[in-house]
């Protein structure tokens, strides 16, 4: 993924990434599930969807937890929508993160309070996002 824009708001960094290809809901679900399984695990703090970008989010964390943190087993999450948001405490990065996937686009937004981890010589978040994209494309 390519980091296209980095901005700060109220102490949080917003990193806008461009995926290699435009993606659909199947990619979104697999990418979010990969993040939950490989990183957030028991520290999953939020799962939300929206019909379109900018619309009011619908929260599904309790439904996802009831399904053993499996997004595909949650009808309200697995049904195609415009946006999927997952948040949690990253074991890998050692900080809170939120990742927003925008269906039928190539846009992903990562938010975190860890500004120093976006240093030009060591942009570890871009490497993190690359690993997600590569691992998901291996399963499609």
For 43-57, the pLDDT digits (tens) are 999 999 999 888 899
Express as a percent the part of the chain with pLDDT over 90.
81
pLDDT of residue 99: 98
Count of structural domains within the chain: 1
> For residues 31 and 137, is the Cβ–Cβ distance under 8 A?
no
* Residue numbers of the domain that contains 63: 2-139
For 57-108, the pLDDT digits (tens) are 999 999 999 999 999 999 999 999 999 999 999 999 999 999 999 999 999 9
pLDDT of residue 46: 97
User: What average pLDDT does the chain have?
Assistant: 93
pLDDT score of 121 more than 70:
no
pLDDT category at 122 given cuts 50, 70, 90 is low
> For residues 13 and 114, is the Cβ–Cβ distance under 8 A?
yes
For 21-44, the pLDDT digits (tens) are 999 999 999 999 999 999 998 899
pLDDT of residue 48: 97
pLDDT category at 138 given cuts 50, 70, 90 is confident
Residue among 46, 26, 27, 50 nearest 36 (CA): 46
pLDDT of residue 115: 83
pLDDT category at 109 given cuts 50, 70, 90 is very high
pLDDT score of 15 more than 80:
yes
Q: What b/e sequence results for 6-40 when a residue is b if at least 16 CB atoms lie within 10 Å of its CB, and e otherwise?
A: eeeeeeebebbbebeeebebebbbbbbbbbbeebb
């Amino acid at each position: 993924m390519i980091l296209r824009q980095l901005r700060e708001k109220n102490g949080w960094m917003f990193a806008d990434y461009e995926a290699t290809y435009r993606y659909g809901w199947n990619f979104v679900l697999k990418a979010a599930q990969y993040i939950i399984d490989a990183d957030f695990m028991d520290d999953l703090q939020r799962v939300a969807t929206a019909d379109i970008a900018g619309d009011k989010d619908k929260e599904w964390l309790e439904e996802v937890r009831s399904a053993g943190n499996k997004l595909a087993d949650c009808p309200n999450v697995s049904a195609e929508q415009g946006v999927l948001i997952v948040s949690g405490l990253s074991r890998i990065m050692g900080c809170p993160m939120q990742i927003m996937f925008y269906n039928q686009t190539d846009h992903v937004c990562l938010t975190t309070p860890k500004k120093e981890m976006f240093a030009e010589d060591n942009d570890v978040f871009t490497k993190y996002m690359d690993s997600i994209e590569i691992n998901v494309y291996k399963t499609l």
